[in-house]
Every structure is written in C-alpha cells, then in structure tokens.
Amino acid sequence: MRTLIADHPLIKVGGEIDLLPALYYTEERDNTYNFSLKYHQVTEYFFARDDAGVSTADDLPGKTVAMLGGFASIETLRKAYPELTIIEFDSMDDAINAVVTHKADLLFDAIATLTFALRQKSISNIRPTFKIENSKPFELFIGSRSCDSKFFSATGSPAALGGLPFAITRSQ
C-alpha cells in the first residue's frame, strides 16, 4: 500500500515524495511543509498486550512502547511519561511485531489506525487500554513541501483528494 500511495502523481513531485496526506502540525515541520486546513482529529491510545500487566498510567514505569519513528506524538509521550521506554520502528508492522514477540509491551498511535491494523492481522490479544490523561485529539493536516500553484492546479478540486478542505496556510 505504501508504494501505491508514494507513486501517486499527486503525491510525488520531481521524483520525491512531496505530499503527506495525514500529518500532525509541529513548529519544526512548519519549517519544511505547507499545511492544509485541519481536516480531521484523532485520539491516540495506548494498546497493551493482554499479558503486559498494563491497565492505567500507573502501570507504565518499566514498560516499553513500540511506535513509528519520527511521529510528533513521541515528544508528547516522553514528556507525559518519562519513565516509559520508547522504541521507534520504521513501520507499523515492525512495531506490532515487537509487541507480539514480547520485545515491547505496548503500542501508541491513533485508535482507528491501530484497531484497523490489528484486525487486519487477526491479532486479538492487543487492545486499547487508555489515552494520555487530559489529552486533546491530535489534528490532521495534509502537508506538502512545494504547494505551488502548479501542484494545486494538478489536484483539480478538493474531490481529487477525497473531498478534503484544501487551503494553503503557513504560520508566520
């Protein structure tokens, strides 16, 4: 699936991936990407293996969480739970495999993303457990490095990108 998305002509510009269809905003990313309007919000949850002994945040000291590397939520997690060990992986499959094979105790990502991935793999012993206390949903944006008029004219209409509300914004 990753290859199909990366090879889509609206995503690849000048031979390099330019469009990221689901991106969290950070100040660091604002230096590289132009952002669409917010189009969705997601809540991130800890997913624990049934035998991991985790049901609340009080159970996290000494535990290990597997995540996709480079996610903006990693810093949020480090600040909220400094006693938690975070292992970053190149793919969701690798992160899930780390929990299945007992190299990690938990996963952390958007509830919809992990629920879907676990169902696809018929994994039933890793379940959503809890979210960061008092956390707000993360906002999703489309991010692009170019966002020039040629790029956006190629998209035609918002329907070409699944009906997403497209307006270029950039914080100053």
Q: How far apart are CA 143 and CA 25, in angstroms?
A: 9
Residue 42 has pLDDT above 70, yes or no: yes
Average pLDDT over residues 62-89: 90
Domain span holding position 68: 44-131
Q: Are residues 33 and 51 in the same domain?
A: no
Q: Are residues 60 and 122 in the same domain?
A: yes
Q: Are residues 11 and 53 in the same domain?
A: no
**Which token pair is 130?**
């809890």
Q: Are residues 66 and 13 in the same domain?
A: no
Residue 3 has pLDDT above 70, yes or no: no
150 CB contacts (<8 Å, ≥6 apart)? Answer: none
Residue 112 has pLDDT above 70, yes or no: yes
Q: Are residues 76 and 148 in the same domain?
A: no
Q: Pick 6 or 123 by higher pLDDT.
A: 123
Q: Are residues 144 and 87 in the same domain?
A: no
Q: Are residues 49 and 111 in the same domain?
A: yes
35 CB contacts (<8 Å, ≥6 apart)? Answer: 23, 25, 141, 142, 143, 168, 169, 170
Tens-place pLDDT, residues 114-141: 999 999 999 999 999 998 888 788 777 7
Three-state secondary structure call for residue 130: strand
Q: Are residues 50 and 103 in the same domain?
A: yes
Q: Are residues 106 and 149 in the same domain?
A: no
Residue 122 is which amino acid? S
Alpha-helical regions (H) of 84-156: 92-100, 111-120, 149-155
Mean pLDDT of the chain: 76
Q: Are residues 123 and 144 in the same domain?
A: no
Tens-place pLDDT, residues 147-156: 643 443 344 3
Q: What percent of the chain has pLDDT over 70?
A: 72
What confidence category does residue 35 fall into, taking pLDDT thresholds of 50, 70 and 90?
A: confident
Identify the CATH number of the domain in which residue 123 sits: 3.40.190.10
Q: Are residues 59 and 109 in the same domain?
A: yes
Report the predicted TM-score, pTM, of the whole model to 2 decimal places: 0.67
Residue 69 has pLDDT above 80, yes or no: yes
Q: How far apart are CA 87 and CA 95, in angstroms?
A: 8
Q: Are residues 60 and 82 in the same domain?
A: yes
What confidence category does residue 143 fall into, taking pLDDT thresholds of 50, 70 and 90?
A: confident
Nearest CA among 137, 140, 116 for reference residue 126:
116
Q: How many residues does the chain have?
A: 172
Average pLDDT over residues 140-169: 50
Residue 46 is predicted with a pLDDT of 96
How, if at all, do strands 34-35 and 40-42 pair?
unpaired
Is 172 part of any domain? no
